[in-house]
Amino acid sequence: MAFLVIVIVVAFAFYVFYRVQNVRSRRPMEKKWLSAKSSMALGLFVGVFGINTLFVQQTTVSYIVAAVFILFGFASMIAGYKMYKYYLPFAQKEADELDNDR
């Protein structure tokens, strides 16, 4: 269980880190790319939290809540990964254009 707690804390820390970077960024494609990364981190946080709930409480309600958390969490991770792959070339191009302008 301690491993799951560590993963939960690290995933939440990455979520906060990428959210702060997203707010500080001025480039539009980089903002979307960072948003995708934070979506993946939040999805991992929610999914692993659901898995941890399965081990901590063994009631019918907790099983249902855990299943919902796991489904939404890992669906968010998959959607975030697709967004990440989509926006990565645009963010790289945007960064290259900025470097060429300097």
**How does the average pLDDT of the chain come out, rounded?**
93
Per-residue pLDDT at 102: 62
Q: Which of helix, strand or coil describes residue 7?
A: helix
Q: In angstroms, rounded to a whole number, what is the distance separating the alpha carbons of residues 39 and 59?
A: 29
User: ∠ at Cα 39 (24, 4), nearest 5°?
Assistant: 115
- Interval 17-59: pLDDT, tens: 999 999 999 999 999 999 999 999 999 999 999 999 998 988 9
Per-residue pLDDT at 47: 96
DSSP 37-61: HHHHHHHHHHHHHHHHHHHH--SHH
Per-residue pLDDT at 1: 77
Q: Which residue has tokens 């991770």?
A: 77
